[in-house]
Structure 1
Amino acid sequence: MKPAKIATRYPTPALEKGLDILELLANHPTGLTKSEVARSLDRTVSEIFRMLVCLEERGYISQSKDGERFCLTLRLFKLAHEYPPTKRMITEALPIMQQATHELNQSCHLGILDGGHIVIIAQVDSPISPGFYVKAGAIVDLMHAATGHVILAHQTPEVTSRAVQIWCRQNNAHVPRDLAAHLTKIKRQGYEERESYQVNGIVNVSCPVFDDRGNAIAAMTVPFIQRIGDRTTPATARRVLKQATLLLSEAIGGVAKPLTSD
């Protein structure tokens, strides 16, 4: 199905076609054939063929070894990392995240809002095994991520509304009925702690990173696993993450907003 279009005074059909293809492939990590791309966008193969060739030549997509499927490359991810604010945040975040992982013996990742998704821009492994982690570069469904809910809860109503609308359009879905109440709760307590939306046995603990206006520009998350004989708990992770995100907020010139105490 062709994505719904936002009204614009200056239509650019070729650009829109290319962006539609990139957004589509972002949701299909194993790739799609030309026919599948065309069918998903409600176009003919001839309409998208030249754009596929262009995107491949520019390095944004690549073909599988058998030449049948097209997949996204890491070019967009690399470009995002070169964007100065993102690059600075990653530089400041990594040592703070490394300290947190060593205190908790858990992995940690940092995510930002990108349309109707969350993009993981930095990640640090647990120093011990076994462990669970979300890799840097991963694209996560906004509504299936504690990171996403924390950012939405601590953003302006306009940014939150726009992100939710994009998610609804991308997924052909309605706004979750309990979303507003859930975001209100997260904002009141200053963090998210709940069982993983995708993996049994994981408790996601997530806290916001604030910009200079007090809005969340990222969230740091620990996918917590309880090891036998380990006294570390999600409450421990919450305490460590609160301190880590306050340090990161300060480091990037943001507001070190005190979070609601437990």
Structure 2
Amino acid sequence: MTEEDDSDRYRAPALDKGLDILELLSGIDGGLTQAEIAKFLGRSPNEFYRMLDRLVRRGYVTRLEGDRYSLTLKLFGLAQLHAPVRRLASYATPLMRDLAVSSKQANQLSVFDRGAAVVIAQQEAPDYWGISIRVGSHISLFNTGSGHVLLAFRSDEERALMIAEYEKHADDIAQPPDFHERLNQIRERGYEVMPSAQTAGVYNVSAPVLGPDGRAIAALTCPYIQLLNMPDAPAVDDARKMLVATAQKLSELAGADVIHSSVVRMA
């Protein structure tokens, strides 16, 4: 028996068909109709009706206007639970500890998961005072530095999917005016600095951890507070430079070519 014959013994046609659809849609902007999917894959449109229905019901595919099908971010969310993200948190720990010591501030690392920014690692401030967010906390995409950065460093289509998924669970929080223009500005300068919408006197300082494709796989954020009892503590802009440099190091660990990124240019 040849190697090809051996591999065909264990074929699962239905599974292959579903994977073919997911792989096809992953490379298409704007989605495809059922007929277009069939044409790309060289099959009859009727072969894909039930499979598309199941993928929609399970949340892997969404049906757009005009009977077009597009991927949701469910696969992306599942990927956040995979070992590479856990390794990223492990690699980040010593760098986040160094950042906390040099900036005198706490910091946290967040990823997008199923409609929210979720904290996967955090580092306490080295002294008495600091703002800390528990690991596992869910953070708003609309009014936090972490959320802004995670959205800013994604494509327009991915942003729309992330926002749609977020609004399913947080429809009481309205999207700010000129929000997409703000995200574009964040992407251009490479970081976000904004007053906290939750705590007076706190500034969210955030920068992206970039993957090999230049997309944000995580956001590194410092909830900056002015330490009146430590007059020699770094100012907010100095802390911002330290945080951007740390995010750059984490991006390099993740395989990103950050030499040409706006994060480096603007730091």
Shorter chain as normaliser: what TM range? 0.5 to 0.7
Report the Cα distance in structure 2 between the residues aligned to 1:157 and 1:149, rounded to whole angstroms: 13
Shift of 1:157: 1.8
Residue identity matched to 2:207: C
Q: CA RMSD in A?
A: 2.2
Counterpart of 1:110?
109
Residue identity matched to 1:9: D
Does the CA-based 8 Å contact 1:147-1:220 persist in structure 2? yes
Does the CA-based 8 Å contact 1:116-1:141 persist in structure 2? no
Shift of 1:147: 0.5
Shift of 1:227: 0.8
Report the Cα distance in structure 2 between the residues aligned to 1:175 and 1:198, rounded to whole angstroms: 16
Report the Cα distance in structure 2 between the residues aligned to 1:164 and 1:80, rounded to whole angstroms: 18
SS at 2:142 equivalent: helix
Cα 1:248/1:193, change in 2 over 3 Å: same
Counterpart of 1:93?
92
Cα 1:99/1:231, change in 2 over 3 Å: closer
Report the Cα distance in structure 2 between the residues aligned to 1:170 and 1:215, rounded to whole angstroms: 24
Report the Cα distance in structure 2 between the residues aligned to 1:254 and 1:208, rounded to whole angstroms: 11
- Which residue, out of 243, 246, 261, partners 1:244? 246
Report the Cα distance in structure 1 between the residues aligned to 2:148 and 2:253, rounded to whole angstroms: 23
Does the CA-based 8 Å contact 1:92-1:252 persist in structure 2? no
Report the Cα distance in structure 1 between the residues aligned to 2:208 and 2:80, rounded to whole angstroms: 20
Report the Cα distance in structure 2 between the residues aligned to 1:187 and 1:91, rounded to whole angstroms: 26
Report the Cα distance in structure 2 between the residues aligned to 1:141 and 1:182, rounded to whole angstroms: 16
- Which residue, out of 232, 235, 244, partners 2:234? 232
Does the CA-based 8 Å contact 2:141-2:151 persist in structure 1? no
Counterpart of 2:201?
201
Structure 2 spans left out of the alignment, 5+ residues = 1-51, 60-77
Find the structure with the greater CA-based Rg: 2
CA offsets, 1:243-262, max 9 Å, x none?
A: 10111111122232352426
SS at 2:206 equivalent: strand
Counterpart of 2:133?
134
Shift of 1:211: 0.2
Does the CA-based 8 Å contact 1:150-1:192 persist in structure 2? yes
Shift of 1:12: 9.2
Counterpart of 2:25?
none
Shift of 1:80: 8.1
Q: If the length of structure 2 is used for normalisation, what is the TM-score?
A: 0.66
Cα 1:11/1:222, change in 2 over 3 Å: closer
Counterpart of 2:6?
none
Cα 1:130/1:214, change in 2 over 3 Å: same
Does the CA-based 8 Å contact 2:205-2:221 persist in structure 1? yes
Counterpart of 1:10?
54
CA offsets, 1:35-57, max 9 Å, x none?
A: xxxxxxxxxxxxxxxxxxxxxxx
Q: Which moved more, 1:246-255 or 1:212-221?
A: 246-255
Structure 1 spans left out of the alignment, 5+ residues = 1-7, 17-78
Aligned length: 192
Q: If the length of structure 1 is used for normalisation, what is the TM-score?
A: 0.68
Counterpart of 2:215?
215
Shift of 1:170: 2.3
CA offsets, 1:160-194, max 9 Å, x none?
A: 11011112232336543221111011111110001
Cα 1:258/1:183, change in 2 over 3 Å: closer
SS at 1:144 equivalent: coil
Report the Cα distance in structure 2 between the residues aligned to 1:231 and 1:134, rounded to whole angstroms: 21
Counterpart of 2:188?
188
